[in-house]
Amino acid sequence: MPTIAGVVDNAIGFITRRQNTEVQYIFDNPFAFPIEERSFIHQRVKLLYAKILKDCFAASAGIPDKAKPLFWDTVVKSFGKSNAGDGLISLLSGAMADKKDLFLVYNKDVLRIAKDEEKQTIKESFEKGKKQNIGFWFSFSDYFLSDILRVLFSLQLAVLSSTYTGMNVSKSLFIQMDKLRELVSREESAPIEAQAKKINEGIKSSKSILIDALDKVTTINIDMTSTKTSIDYIWGIIAELINMPLYYVSGELKSGLNATGEADNAAIERGIEAFFNSIFKPVVDEIFKTDIKFISDRWRVLLSSGAALKTIETIDPSIMPLKIKQRIAENILKDFYTDSDKLSETED
């Protein structure tokens, strides 16, 4: 008759063996995503900001010609920039992504990051309310949008990592032998491994193979439906946060007979103008002592308004005076005029 101590010893031995078995079957992912998580998320946020700032640059009027090259990165270190040739757009987008303060010095047509002693002088002058001509201080320490974007891009990374692993696993051939564990426990694994290799060689040579009716030779099919749904969902949240249409961030154009894209183009312009007024213009005006303007690019509005303008022109002046026609035309074309532009004076 077994003793209590013997039963306990057997139970402990079983638990120990079970724990050891479980540890043995814990493996690292052989196809881990090849880009470090922090680097991936930082670059995705930075690239999104850089895309918006580049569009702000394209929609700007009034940037001095000599300053335009300073917005772009360069691989030529002798160009006069510090920080490995980062242009103003990269410097701004990086500071926005990292929620950091950006100290810049612009002197003799060269834009660079301020040195430590220059940063200290700029800070002290600001705190004391004194004017200084050394450099500029742009703070993004409270830019909460970057926190949300980092979370969303971490979710995107999780989806991409799963897809990356699945696609790499799908390249492998799976030989499923019926009752494999039972066979391995009863005899050595060498004959079974040899049989599997023979099957693999036969398939590789496009030859017929002999397997048990319950054995299977398969590959993994990747279902991209859930992946696409997840990615689209994340893009949708990002688009809503930056006040842009979905295709601006995802790059996927709408399709359909009635999809002209004009509504999306107008929405993109509104979103870009918001970043232009809150970030791009204040920075550019401060550094280069200018007053840049946002220029609309909705040329389709002009095309669609052509018929209306032609109709107005044909109306007899006794019915619609010239001044009224001018007011209507100015209202139709208001998005294409800046504050310094005026229509020609008209006579009664």
| pLDDT at residue number 298 | 62
pLDDT tens, position by position, 197-210:
887 787 777 777 77
| pLDDT at residue number 299 | 58
CB 146 within 8 A of CB 99: yes
| pLDDT at residue number 84 | 46
CA proximity to 133, closest of 291, 287, 281, 279: 287
pTM reported for the whole predicted model: 0.72
Report the alpha-carbon distance of residue 49 to residue 283 in Å, rounded. 15
Task: Give every residue of the chain whose pLDDT is below 50, as ranges.
Answer: 4-5, 7-8, 11-12, 14-23, 79-84, 256-257, 346-348
pLDDT tens, position by position, 236-286:
999 999 999 998 998 876 654 455 556 778 888 999 999 999 999 999 999
| pLDDT at residue number 14 | 46
| pLDDT at residue number 187 | 62
Token match 């099957």: residue? 199
CB 81 within 8 A of CB 111: yes
